[in-house]
Amino acid sequence: MHDCSVEEGLAAVCRPFVALCNRMLHCGMTGRRLCRMMCRRVHKIRTAHSRDTTKFMEETPMQKSLHIDPAKCTGCLQCEMACSYEHTGVINPSKSRIKVFDFEHEGRKVPYTCTQCADAWCMSACPVEAIVIDAATGAKIVKEATCVGCKVCTIACPFGTINYMADVGKVQKCDLCDGDPKCVSACPTAAITYVDANWTGLDRMRAWAAKANTSAVAA
CATH of residue 186: 3.30.70.20
Burial of 103 (0-12, 13-18, 19+ CB in 10 A): exposed
Residues of the chain with pLDDT under 70: 1-62, 199-219
107 lies in a domain? yes
Instruction: With respect to residue 8, please indicate whether it lies within any of the assigned structural domains.
Output: no
The per-residue pLDDT for 50 is 53
Q: What is the per-residue pLDDT for 93? A: 93
Q: What is the pTM assigned to this prediction?
A: 0.66
Report yes or no on 167 lying in a domain.
no
> Helix (H, G, I), strand (E, B), or coil: what is residue 132?
strand
In-domain check, residue 72: yes
Q: Write out the residue range of the structural domain in which residue 73 sits.
A: 60-112+176-209
The answer to whether the beta carbons of residues 132 and 123 sit under 8 Å apart is: yes
Residue 11 forms part of a structural domain: no
pLDDT of residue 198: 72
Assigned domain for 95 exists: yes
Q: So what's the pLDDT on residue 64?
A: 87
In a domain, residue 35? The reply is no
Burial class (CB in 10 A: 0-12, 13-18, 19+), 206: exposed
Q: Which stretches does DSSP call E strand in the chain? A: 64-68, 99-103, 108-112, 131-133, 140-142, 163-165, 170-172, 192-196
Number of folded domains that form the chain = 1
The amino acid sitting at 100 is: V
Residues 80-135: pLDDT tens digits? 999 999 999 999 999 999 999 988 787 788 999 998 988 899 999 999 999 999 98
Is residue 88 in a domain? yes
